[in-house]
């Protein structure tokens, strides 16, 4: 073999040796180096998010005193409304507890809420996820439900030291049991491929044939306890279109999700509380 | 060879890491519109322009692993794809006697499109028969190519200035 041929092939030998070594490196070492490189990058995103928060703070500082007074007045009204709801909630909780004891049924799962700021949004062709500024340090666990004021956001996918990754409800990899409001029969929700410059959409499967939906009267899709992740009744989206399913027994449809999911700045992680007996 | 000269690959890697962060930052701003920026061929071309094969090899591997760590894909996927692209470009560079470097802008565009196409097939296997998927792909690759045309001169100049300030004796673009 001539010298020039061997020098041309040298890069390919090197690549082959690298692939061989990569193939035999233990998974533990790969996971360790992955986590190391992730943790190396995470502070950049946390810092970038904190700078953004600071910008918002200074932007709010330039608001006039009048607008502050107006906001305080609106908040006072909201607080009054929430106080009433809180009293109603306490009564309903007692009622649920009484019925659970009377009928001897297992108690409903309870959650502790951990509010976290979003520090990175990653929506590509292939995945849709966000990074939040709380991780193992706040007891976040993989699989925990993530919600916001508008309903379901997604599920915790990976947890790191000070950050966590959330798989968004818009992602094709997100799948959960749900039901239509006022109809307890379970259906399956899955995220869908979203077109650029358009609102987020999802897909709904296993819809019973007697469900009727029109463009004027869309049906509300809410979370179901059957999935074991979300509490019952959290808003997911609107069922706007129906078509026959591939199996011929059920129908499938399109779910329109809220545009607010694309600009989330704060979410809440629902951590299941351990039940006492 | 001075200590800084020996470690010039490290400074090229730092330049690549800066580009990775900027890329992800811009992608984040564009995410509400469902757009995604992909300019990864710049990470491969810079080492070809400025470093020896071995130095470039490590820069490409580490840049790939750096990206893989943040993404929900098999760890090492980008690193291996980049290495294959790096080897092909390195081979072409020697075969055509400097042709790749002479047409760096064109080579970067072609490599970027090829890499993104490969990823589209490898990661989006279940979607390859969806028209919406390919339409989105075309929009993203079009936008990425436009942005890359605008920034590649800047990026190569940045990397060159870093290495030139460290490596006095080495002839760049030889």
Burial class (CB in 10 A: 0-12, 13-18, 19+), A245: middle
pLDDT of residue A28: 94
Burial class (CB in 10 A: 0-12, 13-18, 19+), A63: exposed
Q: Please say if the pLDDT value at position A166 is more than 60.
A: yes
Q: Please say if the pLDDT value at position B106 is more than 70.
A: yes
Contact between residue B165 and residue B50 where contact means Cβ atoms under 8 Å apart: no
Nearest to B34 among A15, A33, A195 (CB): A195
pLDDT of residue A132: 96
Q: Please say if the pLDDT value at position B170 is more than 60.
A: no
Round to whole Å and give the CA distance between A272 and A142. Answer: 12
User: pLDDT category, A61, cuts 50, 70, 90?
Assistant: confident
Instruction: Decide if A126 and B124 are in contact by the 8 Å CB cutoff.
Output: yes
Closest to B137 in 3D by CA, of B122, B116, B106: B116
User: pLDDT category, B173, cuts 50, 70, 90?
Assistant: very low
Q: Which of A103-117, B88-102, B158-172 has the highest mean pLDDT?
A: A103-117
Instruction: Decide if A123 and B34 are in contact by the 8 Å CB cutoff.
Output: yes
Chain B contacts of A126, Cβ < 8 Å? 73, 119, 123-124
DSSP state of A244: E
Q: Please say if the pLDDT value at position A2 is more than 80.
A: no
Strand partners, A270: A113, A145
The structure tokens listed for B2 are: 């001075």
pTM of the predicted structure, to 2 decimals: 0.87
Q: How many CB pairs under 8 A join A and B?
A: 100
Phi, psi of A120, rounded to the nearest 5 degrees: -155, 135
Round to whole Å and give the CA distance between B29 and B35. Answer: 9
Q: CA of A245 to nearest chain B CA: how many angstroms apart?
A: 18
pLDDT of residue B167: 66
Per-residue pLDDT tens over the stretch B107-163: 999 999 999 999 999 998 888 898 989 999 999 999 999 999 999 889 999 998 888
Q: CA of B122 to nearest chain A CA: how many angstroms apart?
A: 10
Instruction: Decide if B127 and A34 are in contact by the 8 Å CB cutoff.
Output: no
Orientation angle between helical segments B53-68 and B77-95, nearest 10 degrees: 150
Residues A167, A171, A174, A180, Cα dihedral to 10°: 120
**In whole angstroms, how large is the CA radius of gyration of chain A?**
24
Chain B contacts of A120, Cβ < 8 Å? 24, 28
Query: Residue A261: closest CA among chain B residues belongs to which residue?
Result: B32
Chain A contacts of B72, Cβ < 8 Å? 127, 129, 157, 165, 173
Cα distances (angstroms) measured from residue B105 to each of A136, B13, B45, B61, B164: 44, 20, 9, 22, 20
pLDDT of residue B151: 93
pLDDT of residue B150: 92
Mean pLDDT for A153-159 is: 96
For an interface test with B, the pick among A3, A5, A10, A11 (most B C-beta atoms closer than 10 Å) comes out as: A11
Instruction: Decide if A126 and B21 are in contact by the 8 Å CB cutoff.
Output: no
Phi, psi of B65, rounded to the nearest 5 degrees: -65, -35
pLDDT of residue B166: 72
Nearest to B137 among A12, A125, A172 (CB): A125
**Chain B residues interacting with chain A (CB cutoff of 8 angstroms):** 21, 24-25, 27-28, 31-36, 53, 57, 61, 65-66, 68-73, 75-76, 80, 83-84, 87, 90-91, 94-95, 119-120, 123-124, 127, 130, 132-133, 135-137, 139-140
Mean pLDDT for B79-106 is: 87
Strand partners, A238: A220, A256
The structure tokens listed for B172 are: 């760049």
Nearest to A11 among B53, B73, B80 (CB): B53
Round to whole Å and give the CA distance between B108 and B114. Answer: 10
The mean pLDDT of chain A is: 90
Round to whole Å and give the CA distance between B156 and B146. Answer: 16
Per-residue pLDDT tens over the stretch A213-268: 988 889 999 999 888 889 999 999 999 999 998 888 899 999 999 999 988 999 99
Instruction: Decide if B127 and A15 are in contact by the 8 Å CB cutoff.
Output: no
Contact between residue A198 and residue A131 where contact means Cβ atoms under 8 Å apart: no
E strands in chain A = 111-123, 128-132, 145-148, 151-159, 164-168, 175-180, 186-191, 201-207, 219-223, 235-244, 251-256, 266-272
Contact between residue B48 and residue B63 where contact means Cβ atoms under 8 Å apart: no
Which residues lie below 8 Å from residue A158, measured CB to CB, with a gap of 6+? A142, A164, A165
User: pLDDT category, A35, cuts 50, 70, 90?
Assistant: very high
Instruction: Decide if A15 and B95 are in contact by the 8 Å CB cutoff.
Output: no
pLDDT of residue B172: 46
Mean pLDDT for A24-45 is: 94
Chain A contacts of B115, Cβ < 8 Å? none
Per-residue pLDDT tens over the stretch A94-142: 998 899 889 988 887 888 999 999 999 988 888 899 999 999 999 999 9
**In whole angstroms, how large is the CA radius of gyration of chain B?**
16
User: pLDDT category, A276, cuts 50, 70, 90?
Assistant: low
Chain A contacts of B95, Cβ < 8 Å? 8
């Amino acid at each position: 073999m001539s010298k020039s041929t061997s020098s041309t092939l040298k890069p390919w030998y090197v690549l082959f040796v690298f692939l061989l070594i990569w193939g035999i490196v233990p998974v533990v070492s790969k996971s360790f180096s992955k986590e190391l490189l992730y943790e190396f990058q995470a502070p950049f995103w946390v810092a970038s998010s904190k700078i953004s928060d600071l910008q918002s703070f200074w932007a709010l500082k330039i608001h006039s005193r009048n607008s502050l007074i107006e906001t305080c007045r609106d908040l006072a009204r909201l607080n009054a409304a929430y106080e009433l709801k809180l009293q109603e909630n306490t009564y309903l909780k007692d009622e649920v507890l009484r019925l659970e004891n009377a009928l001897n049924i297992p108690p409903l799962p309870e959650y502790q809420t951990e509010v976290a700021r979003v520090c990175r949004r990653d929506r590509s062709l292939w995945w849709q996820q966000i990074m939040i500024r709380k991780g193992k340090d706040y007891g976040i666990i993989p699989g925990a439900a993530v919600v916001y004021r508008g309903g379901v956001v997604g599920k915790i996918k990976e947890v790191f030291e000070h950050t966590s990754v959330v798989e968004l409800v818009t992602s094709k990899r997100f799948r959960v049991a749900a039901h239509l409001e006022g109809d307890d029969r379970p259906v399956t929700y899955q995220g869908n491929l979203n077109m650029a410059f358009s609102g987020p959409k999802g897909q709904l499967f296993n819809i019973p044939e007697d469900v009727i939906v029109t463009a004027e009267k869309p049906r509300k899709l809410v979370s179901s306890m059957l999935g074991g992740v979300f509490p019952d009744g959290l808003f997911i989206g609107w069922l706007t279109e129906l078509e026959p399913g591939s199996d011929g027994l059920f129908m499938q449809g399109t779910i329109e999700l809220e545009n607010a999911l694309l600009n989330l700045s704060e979410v809440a992680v629902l951590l299941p509380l351990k039940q006492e007996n | 060879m001075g200590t800084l000269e020996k470690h010039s690959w490290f400074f090229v890697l730092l330049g690549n890491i800066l580009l990775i962060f900027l890329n992800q930052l811009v992608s984040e701003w564009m995410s509400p519109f469902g757009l995604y920026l992909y300019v990864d061929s710049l990470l491969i071309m810079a080492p070809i322009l400025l470093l020896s094969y071995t130095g470039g090899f490590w820069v490409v591997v580490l840049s790939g692993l750096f990206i893989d760590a943040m993404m929900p894909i098999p760890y090492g996927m980008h690193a291996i794809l980049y290495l294959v692209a790096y080897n092909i470009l390195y081979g072409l560079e020697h075969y055509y006697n400097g042709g790749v470097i002479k047409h760096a802008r064109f080579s970067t565009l072609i490599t970027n499109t090829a890499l993104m196409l490969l990823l589209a097939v490898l990661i989006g296997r279940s979607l390859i028969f969806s028209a919406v998927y390919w339409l989105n792909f075309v929009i993203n690759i079009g936008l990425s190519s436009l942005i890359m045309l605008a920034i590649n001169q800047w990026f190569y100049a940045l990397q060159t200035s870093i290495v030139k300030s460290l490596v006095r004796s080495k002839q760049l673009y030889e």
